[in-house]
Structure 1
């Protein structure tokens, strides 16, 4: 037979776990040195430039247009 659970408590536990995960991510972001933050920002910008460089001319979305075959 299935266990009886209190839905209110289950919702609170799930919300608590989500807040804890967000707090852990925030601690990881905030607990870095300035050079680490600068390096990560530069890497993200380089990745964006690399991605933009691989885009096709005139294509703004990844979906085929009218009459385009895949």
Structure 2
């Protein structure tokens, strides 16, 4: 025979599991120190500047070359 399941309890358990999963994501995303966030921001900015500095055409230069 099949196991009897209380739907109310099953819904509550599913909600608890989903809430815990969301909390885990938020802890991973926001649970960092200020120095860690600043360091990651500086690394991202440095990478953006590096890529921008090595582009063949600067943004907006393509209009000038047509004239």
| Residue equivalent to 1:19 | 19
Q: Over the residues paired in the alignment, what is the CA RMSD in angstroms? A: 2.9
Q: Which runs of 5+ in 2 are unaligned?
A: 49-67
Q: Which runs of 5+ in 1 are unaligned?
A: 47-70
Aligned positions, number: 46
Structure that is richer in helix per residue: 2
Tell me how far apart the structure 1 counterparts of residues 3 and 37 of structure 2 sit (CA, whole Å): 47
Tell me how far apart the structure 2 counterparts of residues 16 and 25 of structure 1 sit (CA, whole Å): 14
TM superposition outliers: structure 1 runs of 4+ over 6 Å: none
